[in-house]
Structure 1
Amino acid sequence: SKHGRFQQNHMLKWLESKWTRPMAMDAMPVDEGSLNPISQMELSLSEAPDGNHTAAIEMAACQSPEAESIYVARRILRQIREEGMRFNQTAVLVRSLPAYQEIIRHTFDRYGIPCFIDHRESVAHHPLVELTRCVLRLPAFGWTHDDWFTYLKTGLTDLIEAEIDDLENAAIERGWRGLRWWNPLKGPEDLVNRFEPIRRKLLKPIKTFLGKSDHDSETKMPLPWNGIQLAAAFRKLWKTLNIEYRLETWDESAFHSPKPNIQDGFHIRVLEVLEAWLLNFELAFAETPLPIREWIPIVDAGLNNLTVGVIPPAIDQVLVGAIDRSRNPDLKSTYLMGLNESVFPAKPTAPMVFDELERLQLENAGVHIGSRYRTQLATERFLGYIGCTRATEHLTLSYALNTSEGKAQAPSVFIQHVKRIFPQLKIHSFNERIDLSAALHERELLISPEFWRWKKGQSEAVLSQILPNMDSRITLSSISQHTGKATNQPLNGVIARHLYSESRTSPTLYTSVSRIEAFAECPFRFFVQSGLKTEERMAFELDARRLGSFQHAALEAFHMALEDEGLRWRDLTPSQARELMEQITSQTMKDFHEGLMEDKPVNRVTASALSQALGTFVAVIVEWMSHYTFEPIGVEVAFGGKEPQIPAWEIQLSDDTKMVFNGIIDRVDLCTREGQSSWAIVIDYKSGKKKPDEILSWNGVQLQLPVYLNVLRQPDAGASIEAKHIQPAGAFFTTLRAKHEGKSSRKEALDPDTSIDSMRKAYQHVGCFDISALDAMDQREGANRGEQFQYQLNKNGAPRKTNWHVMSPAKFDHFLYRTRDLLKEFGQRIFEGDLSIAPYQQSQQTPCQKCDYASVCRIDPWTQQWRQLEPACYGEFNDGKEA
């Protein structure tokens, strides 16, 4: 027969023979050996009840290109499982590959279909191209951070990945940028010893590229280069970095990978393409000397247009390609996608010089230049013929009713053309919402309500509908694993001990109060922070944390300056305190974090504002000293750690486990009492307003103040701060950057008395304290409302009902002991492996709103079951409180 390759398929044979002169198949003549009634049987089976199409030619209308790709993926899976087809006998063809490439790749990845996308791969972002581009940008744009680490992260330098990551973190934190890379590093000795050899190593190939010696630290731009000189510099750089060997190693590793994701010999072919580009570059710019900065757009234009032919990395894959490019004569099944008007056939391009009418006029005048419009139409019709006759057994035509953006579009003329040949052929309307009984892949189960009811234990009969359509390798457990549901299963206790402690014989958790507060907020947050050691990258920027550190450093220097002079805070007048603080902040600006406060003009302005605010703060504190008998005797008091002033606080959790607290107390004020224990008050500085909350304190979310008081209550704590024995009197938060209340008029705002009152209220201390120490804290006669400390008393001297933080001695003692009990409970749960995702909710507030690890747990705030906090209950200690 003339059409021997279609001997087993009469429909495709008829389609090919009648493409140019369409004739309906049901009107064909019946002669010897001609198309027999089997063709009509095939047409009648165009859509089976179960959605399984068995006709040789199918047509489908889908809602969007994405739905088209899903339809094709499902049909391929059915053919592979039920008809014995192989992936390499199947092709997906489109008119223009760029429009469908990523859609098809994404869908086929989801359905586990191996595919080879037949196109020329752009190498514009290949590591070697990026390295070549960056080495030119570095000297041209002042050795910027982004260019340095784009160059290093290509993987083609002498630094290993761990060195690059550590160097980048240090560079961001310490502000190493620009010309600092050309000078020896400055900073802590251990940091310099670690990174200085790395700095010298990374500069070596750059110096080679610039034509400098290893000992040359000159950073001036080189003289203008011509094309030959620049090409030679690139080749010297590649040779210094041993690029050819590295790329061959990459290719070899990719070849031996169990799941190759890159083509055989791809990297070395990139080098060959770049070498060929350099030859053309030398010829084009042999006598054109230009400064480095002017070479950048020229080099970029050349590198951005480089492509490499792609070779399939595996044998059994679906071919995905453009009709006018891909060639494969051994296809049994073809899927022709994107049969939409102006997509295929493609819309004719606008004429560059002559339109169609002008071409006809020239032809009539004897000048034959051809009809571009008619030629393109003929080409598109020929490509349609090629696409529809490529397969020998099965052809599927599909089109989208809407674009990806939702714009309506019409089907292609090829759809009507095929319908003219096969008038009884039905167009299947595909709905991408898959019924559970029709699911072919486990990922399709995720959109099925029945499946989720089974996951919640509400239905047992669901799986009998699922498994018959699935791959035989799919099991119930593998289906369940794809749901991605977060688990609250605890860690094994042995693993938890190894994770949180280095000791195997006596596991000890070294931690801080803020981390335990994080556990109280959500155990999973503590696990990510303290177990996985996940940390936020520190940048050389004046963020909230650095602002706080600067203020703490200035206040510490203020206290130490007074100690050096043998003075106390109360020995100064408010104006003297303000003046001293301004002098200290001026010096602290220069020394703080390698000049961070003077790095930018905005930083200097911020530092000046902080200096004024701190001056106001110490002036107000000194003014309050007239009726405050406590004296600041320690600042930045460290407990535990490398150089402790007070021993770390230890809590025994069990016979062999314990928890040890380290930290720093901002300020400790002492009131010495003859023949009795010294009262101690803890002051904790805050950049913003923070108030103790009764419910949060009861549930362990706010533990900072009571933990600090428990630290001071240790037997050995007093020795280091000039006290034989310490009795905690209270602990308070105080803001360093006060927000003053608005006034009703300009006159009121400028009134000196009003201004002073406003400042005092703005810096008021809020916290918890023992009411028996109130006389020493506030010696104003007849006062029933706090000025320095927040409290309110009734006429009989008892605290008001709303003042839960003003406690009787018994309640205050119970408050501190409960803190210890909470910490013991938390520590035991940590070593038991508790990592549950269980954030609390108080009113409309949740810790997730300010959590640095939200991207790790990724809970849905709309469906999350929030943990409700237990109400505070001090029992008998509330009985004495008066209304």
Structure 2
Amino acid sequence: MLQLVFGRSGYGKTEYIRNRIADMIDRGETQVLLITPEQYSFISEYSLLEQLGEARAHAVRCLSFSRLCDECDRLYGADGRKPLTKGGKAILMKTAIDQVRPDLELFEKKGSSAAFVQSMTGIYDEMKSCNLSGAAVYAAADDLDTDILRCKMRDFSRIMTAYEALLGDRFADPANRLTRLYDQIKDQNYFAGQTVFLDGFNGFVAQEYKILERIIAEAKAVYIALDSDSFGMGDGYDLFAYVNETAGILQRIADKAGVPTNALQLSENCRTDYADLRRVEQYIFADQAPETEIPAEHIRLYAASTVTDACNDLALQIKGLLRCGYRAGEIAVTMRDREKYAPVLASAFEKYGVPYYADERQPVTAQPILVFPMYLMRSVIYGWRSDDLFSLIKTGLTDVSDSPDLHRTENYVYTWGINGAAWKRPFDKSPKGFAGALSDSDRVQLERINALRQSLMEPLLAFQKKVHGATPRQISTALFEAIKAYHADKHLQQLAAGLAQDGASALAEEQGRTWDVLMRILDQLATVLPEKPMALKDYCALYALVTHTEDLGEIPMGLDNVQVGQADRMRFNNPRALFILGANEGEFPQTVTSGGLLSDNERKQLAAHDFKLYSFGEILNLQERYFAYKAVSAPRERLFVTYTATGRADAPSAIVTGIQALFPNLTVEKWNPANALDLVDTPQNAFELMSGLYDSTDPFFVALRAYFSDEPQYAAVQALAENRTPMIKDTATARKLFGKDMVLSASRIEDYYNCPYRYFCKFGLGAQPRQKAEINPMERGTLIHYVLEKLLSEVGTKQLPNYDRKQITALVDGYIEQYFKEEMGDPSDMPSRFRYNFRRLSKMLVDVVCRLAGEFAESDFEAKAFELPIDVDGAVHSKVIPLQDGGSLRIRGSVDRVDVLEQDGQQFVRVVDYKSGAKAFRLADIVNGLNLQMFLYLFNVCADGSNPYAGVPAGVLYMHAARSVMTVETKRSAEKDIAGQEDKAFGMNGIVITNPDCDIPAAMEHDLAGKYIPVRLKKSGVGGSLASLEQLGLLQRKIEALVADMGNALQNGQIGQHPVQAKDHDKTCEYCDFASVCAFKKSVTPRTYDDQTDSAVLAELEKEGESHA
């Protein structure tokens, strides 16, 4: 007898089945078999144990189809072939595709990519579950009218046939287990005398129907529970159309076997006594529903603003239920798009302390021990790429992963662009980049870096040697040995122990399972692949493919956890409360089409030729509606439905609109700050809530701020919310950080006035961006300074005008080569482009030196010092600038060039700075803290009587030591245009002292033509960038005041985020290395100043001088 037990969801089908089982056990019957879906077996066994007790429950065999296969293997003998894992299956499928690729008609160009292998594996599994062989697939192709589909089917057949040939007598594919089960039992009368119950199914695949043929034909009685109230009455498109189709197939199987079929229709909702939940179950997807005054007291609709909001609210509602006496095991959460919600939901559950069980299999692709072999192989395959090597280290599973020298090694590799074979040789350059000879500390650091390099490379080089020309088995063995050589197994154990100690026991246990997965993968690669030499690159590709198919399996289900699962595969255990996430249009119910290698239209064509595969087209949408129905009808007491409402793209689905139609007065809830008290469940949640609404004036949030005001992290939230200017409150800390008696490079003054906060990051915290050893503007400037210093020192400014261009070129090239060897070591180690970029600077430097020769021919000033050091104990002693707290500030630096003129018993001094970049000179910048470096140098040189260059300040000049792009009007005027533009480009800017006779400017350029200095003789007199000695004195006082203000501000902890914003200084933040530090600040207030003319600045200084007189 076949007994079909029909009833809508919650109408007592499972209870009926279990009661029938109990009655049979009470009558002493022992041949009772219950078959359930795999994911429902735990719940089913547990429920039977509760209902029958331990002794009586043993009389019932509770199996799934896969466990039935295991039982028959024990009874009739196992296959003897080695079962394939998912990874092994992927290996064989790829091998099969490669073998028949030349014969493929449509998929030849697809090759054996991971995506195609996975899709083809899916097609194979589908064909086998539908009892279709490769030969059947090929035969079906002959009847098709469409060329493309015909080619597809033939390709499928060829691949399937090749795949099964590879299986041979060695391997057993899980997709064939039910077929083998049928072959085992078809002549054994296995089910004779048994009463078989099937519960929890809504449909079966062809292989399962074959087993059901034997069950129905042989068993004493068969009971099958199905969700439906319309069998024999539906139109094929009602809610239970898919289930009714299943029932019809079962009835035909019984008729064919001569077994009578009875149908029992259960008609009363036994699950819930609440009228609103009953109404939802009965009418949610009905064409019409009777009007009612029933209130929706047990239903809640929530419109979330984000996925995070949805998950946090859900977790909070569950926590509320737990406080009200619900057990976690009585609550279920379901969704249709698990990937969208699972990670956020897990975080919310952890935050609110909700225990849960997720019915999902965990991927392994990101697990450290599974990634480790991948980067180990990639390092060898791609010739020691630094990215691969550091990725290997950063798995955390090598002996050097926690080395304090790791960051130094990374910086060294970044600085010198280390890649490829350079990893196999000892590193020998300065860790600081272009820093000349190695210091003792550099050598110590280099030794430590090389020790790390050696520890990393030795196992890799040994592995490389072993895998050359090796078979898959030998490569697997070499990988295992390399893993052991790095002690990765021990580091994995340490990781697990650390996680367990931190309370993350699930993650700790997971590490052991990942090791088992790795061993399984290596074993599959060693045993499945043929024993012949294989390229490591091919092996690595297979390894990557296998890791994408493997998973960690499922975490065993606990007895009291919230059940979480995806709606299409979840079997509910009669929960008291159910939560639905993502009830949005197109998401749940999901709008689906057949994916993979066969489209809906192609499946329709196949079905028309009686070639039936999985469901497609409209039936899939009917199934989706059925999944939604199963979800809303599952709870006994409470139904919570959440959807995201962020705009038109997030419309509510039929679940929400259906409930609203049934209960027009039901209010959709949203997050409301007025209900914030309900959200304060833990200190962490309360703090997050307070932080998110810090500006609220609601008394509740005022109270929260007061509550957390003494917490250390509160100050950070307050500073961000109130957009406070950063400050070091403890002045003692500030003085300790910056020093009481400060000695700073002159360039740091400009750093501070560019942005105090940037100064703090750079020099207070010592955070420095990494610099590559390349020809950047800084290194280019260093080279220019080096060549000019050496050349002018050797030749002298008086003799230089006597040198022609050829002689100058020889000198410049010689110094460039000398610099190259001194600063960068062996030139052969540097890339050819690097060496080229250095040498191409030669022509530019020759132009600069020729220009200098012309200048010195016109000047009475003579260069006396180059790279003149200014310091506490330098050739020039820096001036002490007193600070408010009794401390002091002195500057240090190096002057590019000091020129001197002896006249009328006085020594006039000017300083010259070589600039490789173009920068306009403006006194407005100087008096606002920018570009004042050379003035500080000038005033220090002139004021320090102990140095031979002390004297009267004669000016500051900036020489542009780089070539510019020239434009010409016509070919005829080209020479004249270029000459004029070169004069302008190489002309110095700055400021020069003036006196009544203008003899000092004339001593710098005899004819005052303005070719070399920013002063020109005009009809109206001498004009240009001039200042009197008194004005330079006022400028000195202003600059020293700026320096003192900076020192006082630092010692008082004033480090505000105030970037300068002025003409030519409008990109301070754009090019700041620390811009990300300020990213969370609401707004930044820049420091601005007017773009005044030089004469206006000098006039203002004179006015200030008069007010201080």
Q: TM bucket by the smaller chain?
A: 0.7 to 0.9
- Matched position secondary structure for 1:848: coil
1:58–1:425: 8 Å Cα contact kept in structure 2? no
Task: Give, in whole Å, the separation in 2 of the partners of 1:314 and 1:729.
Answer: 87
Q: Which amino acid is 1:837 matched to?
A: Q
Task: Give, in whole Å, the separation in 2 of the partners of 1:425 and 1:226.
Answer: 70
Q: Which amino acid is 2:957 matched to?
A: F
Match of 1:158 among 386, 399, 405: 399
1:259-316 Cα distance to aligned partner (Å, 9 max, x none): x497232222211211111111111235131233333322222234333246599999
- Matched position secondary structure for 2:908: strand
The aligned counterpart of 1:49 is none
The aligned counterpart of 2:911 is 682
Match of 1:736 among 961, 971, 976: 961
Please list every run of 5 or more consecutive structure 1 residues that lacks an aligned counterpart in the other structure: 28-39, 44-54, 213-218, 455-461, 502-506
Larger CA Rg, structure 1 vs 2: 2
Q: Residues 820 and 20 of structure 1: is their aligned pair in 2 closer, same or farther, counting only changes over 3 Å?
A: closer
The aligned counterpart of 1:47 is none
The aligned counterpart of 2:724 is 487
Deviation at 1:750, TM superposition (A): 2.5
Q: Residues 400 and 740 of structure 1: is their aligned pair in 2 closer, same or farther, counting only changes over 3 Å?
A: closer
The aligned counterpart of 1:457 is none
Deviation at 1:415, TM superposition (A): 4.9
The aligned counterpart of 2:412 is 170
The aligned counterpart of 2:950 is 725
Task: Give, in whole Å, the separation in 1 of the partners of 2:528 and 2:879.
Answer: 74
The aligned counterpart of 1:576 is 807
Deviation at 1:225, TM superposition (A): 1.5
Q: Which amino acid is 2:745 matched to?
A: S
- Matched position secondary structure for 1:637: strand
Is 1:238 matched with 2:483?
yes
Which shows bigger deviation, 1-10 or 702-711?
A: 1-10
Match of 2:786 among 550, 553, 557: 553
Deviation at 1:168, TM superposition (A): 0.8
Which shows bigger deviation, 492-501 or 391-400?
A: 391-400
Match of 1:768 among 991, 1016, 1033: 991
The aligned counterpart of 2:1015 is 791
1:523-561 Cα distance to aligned partner (Å, 9 max, x none): 211111110111111123332222222222332332344
2:1059–2:1087: 8 Å Cα contact kept in structure 1? yes
Deviation at 1:655, TM superposition (A): 6.4
Q: Which amino acid is 2:552 matched to?
A: V
Deviation at 1:679, TM superposition (A): 2.2
RMSD over aligned Cα atoms: 4.4
1:771-812 Cα distance to aligned partner (Å, 9 max, x none): 249634534898455221112466575646xx4xx1101111
The aligned counterpart of 1:691 is 920
The aligned counterpart of 2:30 is none
- Matched position secondary structure for 1:835: coil
Q: Residues 202 and 76 of structure 1: is their aligned pair in 2 closer, same or farther, counting only changes over 3 Å?
A: same
Q: Which amino acid is 1:515 matched to?
A: R
Which shows bigger deviation, 381-390 or 725-734?
A: 381-390
2:737–2:764: 8 Å Cα contact kept in structure 1? yes
Is 1:857 matched with 2:1088?
no
Q: Residues 118 and 636 of structure 1: is their aligned pair in 2 closer, same or farther, counting only changes over 3 Å?
A: farther
1:608-666 Cα distance to aligned partner (Å, 9 max, x none): 4321111101101101112211222222223339x944345543325652223222222
- Matched position secondary structure for 1:120: coil
Deviation at 1:465, TM superposition (A): 6.2
**TM-score (structure 1 length as normaliser):** 0.80
Q: Residues 316 and 763 of structure 1: is their aligned pair in 2 closer, same or farther, counting only changes over 3 Å?
A: farther
1:303-349 Cα distance to aligned partner (Å, 9 max, x none): 34333246599999876542245567485432212334543344242
Task: Give, in whole Å, the separation in 2 of the partners of 1:205 and 1:447.
Answer: 46
Task: Give, in whole Å, the separation in 1 of the partners of 2:707 and 2:930.
Answer: 48
Task: Give, in whole Å, the separation in 2 of the partners of 1:792 and 1:387.
Answer: 90
Match of 1:12 among 277, 284, 291: 277
Higher relative contact order (CA 8 A, sep 6+): 1
Is 1:613 matched with 2:817?
no
Deviation at 1:136, TM superposition (A): 1.1
Task: Give, in whole Å, the separation in 2 of the partners of 1:473 and 1:118.
Answer: 40
Q: Residues 320 and 747 of structure 1: is their aligned pair in 2 closer, same or farther, counting only changes over 3 Å?
A: farther
2:991–2:1027: 8 Å Cα contact kept in structure 1? yes
Task: Give, in whole Å, the separation in 1 of the partners of 2:355 and 2:788.
Answer: 65
Match of 2:1030 among 807, 810, 818: 810
- Matched position secondary structure for 1:829: helix
Is 1:294 matched with 2:538?
yes
Task: Give, in whole Å, the separation in 2 of the partners of 1:80 and 1:713.
Answer: 77
- Matched position secondary structure for 1:671: strand
Pairs aligned (count): 808
- Matched position secondary structure for 2:958: strand
Deviation at 1:12, TM superposition (A): 3.4
1:639-696 Cα distance to aligned partner (Å, 9 max, x none): 339x9443455433256522232222222222234743x3222111112211222222
- Matched position secondary structure for 2:531: coil
Q: Residues 13 and 183 of structure 1: is their aligned pair in 2 closer, same or farther, counting only changes over 3 Å?
A: same
- Matched position secondary structure for 1:287: coil
Equivalence map 1:353-502=2 (5 Å): 376=620, 380-399=624-643, 407=649, 411-412=653-654, 414-415=655-656, 423-426=662-665, 428-429=667-668, 452=695, 462-464=697-699, 466=701, 482=717, 484-485=720-721, 486-488=723-725, 490-491=727-728, 492-501=730-739
Match of 2:422 among 180, 184, 195: 180
The aligned counterpart of 2:854 is 623
Task: Give, in whole Å, the separation in 2 of the partners of 1:370 and 1:194.
Answer: 65
The aligned counterpart of 2:167 is none
Deviation at 1:397, TM superposition (A): 2.6
1:350-371 Cα distance to aligned partner (Å, 9 max, x none): 58499665676566xxx88786
- Matched position secondary structure for 2:742: strand
Is 1:196 matched with 2:457?
no
- Matched position secondary structure for 1:138: helix
2:368–2:397: 8 Å Cα contact kept in structure 1? yes
The aligned counterpart of 2:981 is 758
1:541–1:596: 8 Å Cα contact kept in structure 2? no
Q: Residues 638 and 782 of structure 1: is their aligned pair in 2 closer, same or farther, counting only changes over 3 Å?
A: closer
The aligned counterpart of 1:841 is 1061
The aligned counterpart of 1:149 is 390
Task: Give, in whole Å, the separation in 1 of the partners of 2:353 and 2:886.
Answer: 50
1:95-139 Cα distance to aligned partner (Å, 9 max, x none): 121233456568889999898765433332333233311221222
1:784–1:792: 8 Å Cα contact kept in structure 2? yes
Is 1:70 matched with 2:309?
yes
Deviation at 1:173, TM superposition (A): 1.2
Task: Give, in whole Å, the separation in 1 of the partners of 2:327 and 2:989.
Answer: 71
- Matched position secondary structure for 1:548: helix
Task: Give, in whole Å, the separation in 2 of the partners of 1:853 and 1:746.
Answer: 48
- Matched position secondary structure for 1:747: coil
Task: Give, in whole Å, the separation in 2 of the partners of 1:103 and 1:408.
Answer: 18
Deviation at 1:145, TM superposition (A): 1.6
Q: Residues 520 and 385 of structure 1: is their aligned pair in 2 closer, same or farther, counting only changes over 3 Å?
A: same
Q: Residues 391 and 573 of structure 1: is their aligned pair in 2 closer, same or farther, counting only changes over 3 Å?
A: same
Match of 2:511 among 267, 291, 295: 267
2:583–2:643: 8 Å Cα contact kept in structure 1? yes
Task: Give, in whole Å, the separation in 2 of the partners of 1:368 and 1:292.
Answer: 42
Match of 1:821 among 1030, 1041, 1049: 1041
Equivalence map 1:483-522=2 (5 Å): 484-485=720-721, 486-488=723-725, 490-491=727-728, 492-501=730-739, 507-522=740-755
Task: Give, in whole Å, the separation in 2 of the partners of 1:866 and 1:379.
Answer: 61
Which shows bigger deviation, 181-190 or 650-659?
A: 650-659
1:263–1:310: 8 Å Cα contact kept in structure 2? no
Q: Residues 8 and 711 of structure 1: is their aligned pair in 2 closer, same or farther, counting only changes over 3 Å?
A: farther
Deviation at 1:493, TM superposition (A): 0.7
Q: Which amino acid is 2:1045 matched to?
A: E
- Matched position secondary structure for 1:278: helix
Q: Which amino acid is 1:12 matched to?
A: L
Q: Identity of counterpart residues, as a percentage? A: 20
Task: Give, in whole Å, the separation in 1 of the partners of 2:892 and 2:911.
Answer: 16
